C-alpha cells in the first residue's frame, strides 16, 4: 500500500543537522505513527513520504521554510529576572513554558545578566536545515475513529 491522504503511516527516522549531529531518532523505540495529509508532521517530510511503500528507505533534506520556519529576531527579548520567581538558578539553554497571547510558548534562555534574562521564543529547530533518514515500516487505512480524533491509536500512537 502506498502512502496517501488518510493512511496511517509508521516510520523510523534519524534526524541530523547540516553538521551531521543527531538531533532526534526513533531507532530503539516504537516507530513514529501519524495520519498522512493532516499536518501532523512537518510539511517537507510529509511531502517527501507521499507515494512511498513499506520497506522504502530514503534520505531527504528539508529547508527551514518546510520544517520549523525561519528564525524571527523579534522573538528574542530581555525580561527582568523577577519574572522567574520560584526558579533557583537560571542558566543558558534552559527552556520554560511562557504564557503568550496565542497560548503556551516554549522559550529558551540565551543569556543571563545581572538583572535581566535574554529569551528566545523561536522553535529550537527554527532556521535549521534538517536531514532525515527515513524508513517506512507500515502503511494502512486509518479507522473512522482515528480520522475523527485526528491521531493514531495503538503502538506509537495514542492509548485511551
Ligand atoms: Zn483518539
pLDDT per position as a tens digit, 106-138: 899 999 999 999 999 998 899 999 999 999 999
- Find how far residue 94's CA is from the centre of its chain: 18
77-98 per-position pLDDT tens digit: 999 998 888 888 999 999 988 7
pLDDT value for 72: 94
Q: What is the mean pLDDT of the chain?
A: 93
Instruction: Provide the residue count of the chain.
Output: 160
For ligand 1, the distance from its centroid to the CA atom of residue 34, given in whole angstroms, is: 12
Looking at domain 73-120, its CATH architecture is: Beta Barrel (2.40)
Q: What residues does each domain of the chain span? A: 7-68+126-149, 73-120
Q: Give the model confidence (pLDDT) of 25-41 as tens digits.
A: 999 999 999 999 999 99
Question: Grid coordinates standing for 57?
Answer: 528507505
State the distance from the centre of ligand 1 to the C-alpha of 138, rounded, in angstroms: 19
| Residue-level pLDDT at 133 | 98
Ligand 1 centroid to Cα of residue 27, in Å, is 25
- Considering the segment(s) 7-68+126-149 as one domain, its CATH architecture is Roll (3.10)
In terms of pTM, does the model score above 0.85?
A: no
Ligand 1 centroid – CA 152 distance (Å): 7
pLDDT at 152 over 80: yes
- Give the closest residue to 67 by CA, choosing from 8, 24, 113: 24
Select the more confidently predicted residue: 148 or 158: 148
User: Which candidate, 56, 57, 50, 43, places its Cα nearest to that of 130?
Assistant: 43
Amino acid at each position: 500500500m502506498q502512502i496517501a491522504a488518510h493512511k496511517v503511516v509508521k516510520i523510523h527516522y534519524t534526524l541530523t543537522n547540516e553538521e551531521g549531529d543527531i538531533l532526534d531518532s526513533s531507532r530503539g523505540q516504537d516507530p513514529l505513527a501519524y495520519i498522512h495529509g493532516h499536518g501532523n508532521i512537518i510539511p517537507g517530510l510529509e511531502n517527501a513520504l507521499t507515494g512511498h511503500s513499506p520497506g522504502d528507505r530514503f534520505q531527504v533534506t528539508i529547508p527551514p521554510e518546510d520544517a520549523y520556519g525561519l528564525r524571527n529576531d523579534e522573538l528574542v527579548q530581555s525580561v527582568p529576572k523577577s519574572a522567574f520567581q520560584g526558579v533557583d538558578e537560571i542558566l543558558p539553554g534552559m527552556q520554560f513554558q511562557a504564557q503568550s497571547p496565542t497560548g503556551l510558548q516554549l522559550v529558551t534562555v540565551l543569556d543571563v545578566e545581572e538583572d535581566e534574562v535574554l529569551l528566545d521564543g523561536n522553535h529550537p529547530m527554527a532556521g535549521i536545515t534538517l536531514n532525515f533518514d527515513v524508513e517506512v515500516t507500515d502503511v494502512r487505512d486509518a479507522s473512522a475513529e482515528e480520522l475523527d480524533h485526528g491521531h493514531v491509536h495503538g503502538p506509537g500512537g495514542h492509548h485511551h
